[in-house]
Structure 1
Amino acid sequence: MFERLFIRANSWAVILLLAAMACIVFCNVTLRYLTNYSIVWAEEVARYMMVWLAFIGAGLALRQGLHVAVGNLHHILPRTGARILRLAIVILLLGFSLVMVWQGWEYLTRMGRQLTPATRISFAYIYAAMPVGFALFAIHLSLIARHYLTEGNLEAPFSEGETPAADRGAIS
């Protein structure tokens, strides 16, 4: 239940960010060509939305197997060796994610006093994408880790078994 709600909330956040970004860019381009007027803050806001989109979408991409991976070694190793390799991968990814949450928070606190040029908001809101995104990534990884370790694929089925991967609210 938690996993499904988590995936849907994360998916909707990505969808809403992408829709807002598309609307802002479309309106800005339309205004520029029809009235020769451009929205001053549109490019900046769209750029920062893209940053947030990339960070909070990384965990969903992991679930769908969309990150670059090399699976040849994993497939030629014996079952025990493949599990050990997958365990090492999960530990490295979780460790990296936690380090990035910490480093992202450190960066946010150091650089967050600066203001963005057009909107004059604190860069802390933009830099928060890194710790939030990597925390979400770590949660996604934790939720699929057991299935990944035992089965070797990333799309873990729900315990209830009622919804396929494409219907879980994940972006396909």
Structure 2
Amino acid sequence: MTNAVEEFSGKISLLSKWVASIGLLLMTAVIVVQVFSRYVLNDSPVWAEQAALLLMIWYVFIAAAAGVREGFHIRIAVIAESLPEGPRRWVRLLTHLLVLLFGIAMAVFGAQLAAATWEHVIPTLGLSRGLAYVPISISGVLIVGFSAEQLFADLRSKEVVPLWN
């Protein structure tokens, strides 16, 4: 894998983490507004719950994609690590391939779901319901790229170095 590909992938991962972090901060601000309005003003805004949910969907899916590259996603490595080096490598390759295929499914079916619900409106926000499903597709595309990077690195017996390392 070339350094240019690794550098580009690292920048996309960093951008994904920034987007997810900003989404988390915005969601927290919306919840603070909702709690303050409910308990201090006795008048909770009707849009707050749906806005927080929409933001959470976006930041969780984007962060999950970055987790594939950075290695902070949940994975069960006990079985692979207990195997000798030969089978361990094949299990890692199979795992990367399965995650890549899952990313393809997310990209395709997430786009179909977003398109199917695009005409539906979230009443309290006035936004398309499809916006809640767009991050599934975006995350799927990112997962495909990050999984491919991991797969090709493993095939070359190299390791993708996480940015936080």
Q: Describe the shift of the 1:64–1:6 C-alpha distance in structure 2 as closer, same or farther (beyond 3 A).
A: closer
Question: Which stretch has the larger CA shift, 27-36 or 70-79?
Answer: 70-79
Distance in 2 of aligned mates of 1:70 and 1:126: 29
Q: What is the Cα deviation at residue 136 of structure 1?
A: 1.6
Distance in 2 of aligned mates of 1:102 and 1:166: 30
2:15 alignment partner AA:
A
2:38 aligned residue: 32
1:46 aligned residue: 52
Instruction: Indicate whether 1:107 and 2:105 are aligned.
Output: no
Distance in 1 of aligned mates of 2:19 and 2:75: 26
Distance in 2 of aligned mates of 1:16 and 1:76: 39
Q: What is the Cα deviation at residue 13 of structure 1?
A: 0.3
1:127 aligned residue: 133
Q: Could you list the runs of 5+ residues in structure 2 that have no partner in the other structure?
A: 1-6
1:15 alignment partner AA:
S
Q: Normalising by the residue count of structure 1, what TM-score does the alignment of the two structures yield?
A: 0.82
Aligned-pair identity in percent equals 24
Aligned pair count reads 158
CA distances 1:75-130 after superposition (whole Å, capped 9, x unpaired): 23222211111111111110111012111111111122111121121112111111
Divergent runs of 4+, >4 A? none
1:166 aligned residue: 164
2:3 aligned residue: none
RMSD, aligned CA: 2.0
Aligned counterpart in structure 2 of residue 19 of structure 1, from 25, 29, 32: 25
Question: Which stretch has the larger CA shift, 19-28 or 77-86?
Answer: 77-86
